[in-house]
């Protein structure tokens, strides 16, 4: 079985600690990635923003899969289940926010920074 098929197989079990996948790859890197997109929002054209947001959504899908296959690498199984649920909700949020952000950019709306 090749690497791609193994990654998408439902029988795949990850070997990374869940905390690394969830907190470092999922939370920290996702926030840095999206923060960079927010900072670039007013400075880039529609195509560039669309590509960045598409990359962010693909990154989020990759994190979702990584959390899913590594969720059993914990001492308490409920933590793995909770990480799965939280990551699914985050992925839905990332897709919706990215879509609305792109639509706002197409309409020429400034990004509403809270500060």
Burial of 16 (0-12, 13-18, 19+ CB in 10 A): middle
Task: Give residue limits of the domains in the chain.
Answer: 15-106
Residue 112's pLDDT is 76
pLDDT digits (tens, 9 = 90+) for 80-106: 999 999 999 999 999 999 999 999 999
Handedness of CA 9, 12, 14, 15 (dihedral sign): negative
What pLDDT does residue 3 have? Answer: 63
**The pTM is what?**
0.89
Is the model's pLDDT at 13 over the cut of 90? Answer: no
Coil, strand or helix at 39: helix
């Amino acid at each position: 079985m090749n690497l791609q098929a193994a990654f998408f197989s439902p029988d795949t079990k990850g070997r990374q600690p869940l905390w690394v996948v969830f907190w470092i790859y999922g939370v920290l890197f996702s926030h840095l990635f999206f923060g960079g997109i927010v900072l670039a929002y007013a400075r880039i054209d529609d195509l560039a923003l669309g590509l960045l947001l598409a990359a962010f959504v693909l990154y989020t899908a990759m994190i979702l899969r990584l959390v899913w296959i590594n969720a059993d690498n914990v001492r308490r199984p409920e933590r793995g289940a909770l990480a799965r649920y939280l990551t699914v909700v985050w992925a839905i949020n990332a897709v919706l926010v990215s879509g609305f952000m792109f639509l706002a950019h197409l309409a020429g709306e400034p990004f509403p920074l809270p500060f």
